Structure 1
Amino acid sequence: MLDLDLQFFAAGGDGGEKTEEATPKKLEDARKEGQVAKSQDIGVAVLLTIFFAYMKIFGGMTSDRILGVFKYYYGHLDEYAFDFNVGRAMNALTFGGREMLIVTLPIMGMLLLGGFVANVYQVKWQPTMKPLQPKFSKLNPISGMKKLFSKDKLFELVKSVVKLIVLFYVVYTSLQDEWGLIVNIYRLDLIPAVSLVVDTVLNTGLKICVVFLIIAVVDYMYQKHKFRKDMRMSKQEVKDEYKNTEGNPQIKSRIRNKMMEVSRRRMMQSIPEADVVITNPTHLAVALKYDRDLAEAPIVLAKGADYLAEKIKNSAYDNNIEIVENKPLARMLYYNVELGDQIPPELYQMVAEILAYVYELQGKVS
């Protein structure tokens, strides 16, 4: 008969089933490691959409600039052929470079901005270099084979197949709509023929971009769902994290008790300095001291309830300190005045009468 430890199986070996949502600390640690919910398709789809939309809107201006450059060079061929020098070469390069910058800078700026916004929208702004650091665990062939046949790879394969099917369908339907003009393109002049090809490419590209954006959004939603699922924690992991961040509750309780014990000992040591102890008479005890050189009003040196009150009274007996029973005053002092604080003005009269009585008993007043 085998002796099995059923608790081992109940715990799952690693703290149990991961049923708890990730804590903010775990999500923050994962972000620092570069682990975030991110879809690569979002960035690609956004960049393609920006490019085709820009060319659709500003394509005419762009083509005019490019044709202007060719016309400029073509119109000055005879000058360059018979009198080419450094000055003419610099003029030609300056003109061409300036025109190309005018053409390319807007689209490049929009592409950079679009890529930046697409990434920041997904992962927020927290740069980290940790994903670029080499990890030898990634070189493990066994884990590599497991990832090759994982559910994520199957999803990526299905997504790629869907992209190809959609791409083929969009291109086919777009060409079908323009097929009558395309087959007769040889009958058109150069400029109308080029315009037809460019318009067909741009319209097809925009349709593809819309579909790719939809696929990218679906992929992003899947990646977020997968990330939340991967980040889940077991109940034991949540407890361990709490202990590591907030401290072990048992240790914190022992520290708190130790601090209270030290504070109580210091309080008991100050009782011999008291002028009077006011009691409830059995449940509460408050020790007061008045020294006009130290404070304007009497201060509470010690206070306690039940067992601690009994200890305060015993210490008062041992040190010949007067004990006065006054239930209302004892309750007000115990519940409203902290250790080391002066009594409030509304209690001056009551405490003054008691101190006068005590001083008279001790012969401190004539």
Structure 2
Amino acid sequence: MLLHLDLQLFSGEKTEKATPTKRREVRKKGQIAKSIEISSAFTLLFSFACLMVWGKSFIEGCLDIYRHTYREYLLWDLSISSTKLLFNQLLLDAVKIIAPILLVVLIVGIATNLMQVGFMFNFSLIKVDFKKLDPLQGLKRLFSLRSLVELIKSILKITIVGVVVFVVIWQKKNDFLVLGEKNIWDVSSFIASLILQIGLAASAALLVLAVGDFIYQKYSFEKKIRMSKQEIKDEFKKMEGDPVIKGKRRAIQRQMAMNQMIREVPKADVVITNPTHFAVAIRYDIKTMDAPQVIAKGRDYIALKIKEVAKEHKVTIVENRPLARALFAAVEIGETIPEELFNAVGEILAYVYYQDGRYKGMMT
């Protein structure tokens, strides 16, 4: 009795990797292995990289707005039309300045998500789920292992960013002591350069943390979707009983059988046709066969395909409607022709051999 219970518990333990079917099901529900930290780290890194590349043009654009404001805009008459024109002009100038950075951030955000999960758009995720408003479920999530991991991750991020900022600033401590002796432009240049260094260093450090988080999310996801041996068996039985799956499997088997049959047509000595509805390919080797053998047959589309392949490989095609129908109905692929059809088939083979200028022996 105890052994039986132990076996039941063992069979219910989720120790097996998820099957492709299970993975498709959980993906439809929006359950995927994804790290938000990857997107955040890459976005931050490329944002500072853009500032490093386009920082000069960014500053020049801001200065142009400043100059135009004090040289032109403040001299305009205050009216509704001038205010509207001023707003549109300032908005256009601001868009020109920040558009390249926003475009890069957008591309990086999309690319990092595609790299992690591929293209996926699930409308079910935007539906209102009132179960998520349950206070008890909220408390369970608050004191769960996942919440603890997120807390540790947040502390690590704060610690890493703090350490990076301290290290970068500490290396520049001597420069801070002489800032009072520099003009405003040099000070601005120093501060901008320091901010870029801090941003790039912090982004690189967060990227390392993000990679670790992605590995953890992948491991956690794989563990979550594990299946028991019984679940795999049930899934297999379900697939076996699914009419759609059975239909697809039969279609694949039929296609494979037809392809194999078509590949045998070039070996035939003759193809007997109806001429359009039936085609039967016959092969005969007097040294190895006791009687001619049907190596391919088909009706309608398959018959046309057999004739097409026969023509390509210069296999003789003979039209004989009664014989083609009789062979199609009486002989399966791989079988020899029945005794009552020997004479009819023999005459056709003799004719073919005579036309080809070769002799394989006559059937009696």
Q: Does TM-score exceed 0.5, indicating one fold?
A: yes
1:48 equivalent in structure 2: 44
2:26 equivalent in structure 1: 30
Distance 1:295 1:68, change over 3 A: same
Q: CA deviation at 1:46?
A: 1.3
Q: 1:153 aligns with which of 136, 147, 160?
A: 147
- Percent of counterpart pairs with the same letter? 29
Is 2:197 aligned against 1:197? no
Q: 2:104 aligns with which of 110, 118, 121?
A: 110
* 1:1-366 alignment runs, 5 A limit: 6-12=3-9, 15-76=11-72, 79-80=75-76, 83-85=77-79, 88-247=82-241, 294-296=322-324, 298-299=326-327, 335-336=334-335, 348=346
Q: Check conservation: 2:46, 2:104, Cα contact below 8 A.
A: yes
Could you tell me which runs of 5 or more consecutive residues in structure 2 were left unpaired when the two chains were aligned.
251-319, 349-364
Q: CA deviation at 1:69?
A: 0.7
Mapped partners of 2:159, 2:106: distance in 1: 29
Counterpart AA for 2:8? A
Mapped partners of 1:203, 1:160: distance in 2: 22
Q: Check conservation: 2:43, 2:108, Cα contact below 8 A.
A: yes
Distance 1:343 1:61, change over 3 A: farther
Mapped partners of 1:26, 1:243: distance in 2: 14
Distance 1:344 1:64, change over 3 A: farther
Distance 1:136 1:338, change over 3 A: farther
1:264-320: CA deviations, max 9, x gaps?
xxxxxxxxxxxxxxxxxxxxxxxxxxxx874446447679xxxxxxxxxxxxxxxxx
Counterpart AA for 2:7? A
Q: CA deviation at 1:145?
A: 3.8
1:199-252: CA deviations, max 9, x gaps?
11111011000001111111111111111111111111111111112218xxx9
Q: Figure out how many residues of one structure are paired with residues of the other and give that number.
A: 275
Mapped partners of 2:343, 2:187: distance in 1: 99
Mapped partners of 1:242, 1:227: distance in 2: 22
Distance 1:337 1:209, change over 3 A: farther
Distance 1:19 1:347, change over 3 A: farther
Mapped partners of 1:232, 1:49: distance in 2: 35
CA RMSD of aligned residues (A): 3.5
TM-score (norm 1): 0.65
Mapped partners of 2:13, 2:346: distance in 1: 64
Which one has a bigger Cα radius of gyration?
Answer: 1
Counterpart AA for 1:27? R
1:169-220: CA deviations, max 9, x gaps?
1111111122222244344322222222221111101100000111111111
Q: CA deviation at 1:38?
A: 0.4
> What's the secondary structure of 1:134's corresponding residue?
coil
1:47-77: CA deviations, max 9, x gaps?
1111111111111110001101101111126
Q: CA deviation at 1:146?
A: 3.8
Distance 1:160 1:344, change over 3 A: farther
> What's the secondary structure of 2:49's corresponding residue?
helix
Mapped partners of 1:54, 1:344: distance in 2: 85
Distance 1:85 1:239, change over 3 A: same
Could you tell me which runs of 5 or more consecutive residues in structure 1 were left unpaired when the two chains were aligned.
257-291, 304-332, 351-366
